[in-house]
Amino acid sequence: MTAITSIEDAATLNSQLASLDLAGRLSLVAGLGERVVFTTSLGIEDQVITAEIGNHRLPIEVATLQTGRLFPETLALIDETESQYDIRIVRYEPEQADIEAYAAKYGLNGFYESVEARHACCGVRKLKPLARALSGASIWITGLRRGQSANRADTPFAEFDPERNLFKINPLADWDIDAIRAYVADNSVPVNPLHARGYPSIGCEPCTRAIKPGEPERAGRWWWENDEKRECGLHVHEEGTAAAQ
The DSSP code sequence of 44-94 is: HHHHHHHHHHHHTT-S-EEEEE--S-B-HHHHHHHHHHHHHHT--EEEE--
pTM for the full predicted model: 0.86
* 114-122 CB contacts, 8 Å cutoff, 24+ apart: 115/225, 115/227, 118/207, 118/222, 118/225, 119/232, 119/233, 122/232, 122/233, 122/234
* Domains of the chain with CATH codes: 7-147+154-207 (3.40.50.620)
Please tell me the predicted confidence (pLDDT) of residue 245.
Answer: 30
Please tell me the predicted confidence (pLDDT) of residue 151.
Answer: 74
User: Active-site positions?
Assistant: 232
Q: How far is CA 147 from the centre of its chain?
A: 14
CA distances from 217 to 201, 220, 233 (A): 6, 7, 18
- Is 204 one of the annotated binding-site residues? yes
DSSP 157: S
Instruction: Assess contact for 98 and 132: CB atoms under 8 A.
Output: no
Question: For the chain (length 245 residues), average pLDDT per consecutive 10?
Answer: 63 94 96 91 96 97 97 97 98 98 96 94 96 95 86 87 91 95 98 94 94 88 72 44 35
Please tell me the predicted confidence (pLDDT) of residue 227.
Answer: 57
- Is 221 one of the annotated binding-site residues? no
User: In terms of DSSP H, where are the helices of the chain?
Assistant: 7-18, 22-30, 44-55, 72-85, 96-106, 115-122, 128-134, 177-187
- Is 121 one of the annotated binding-site residues? yes
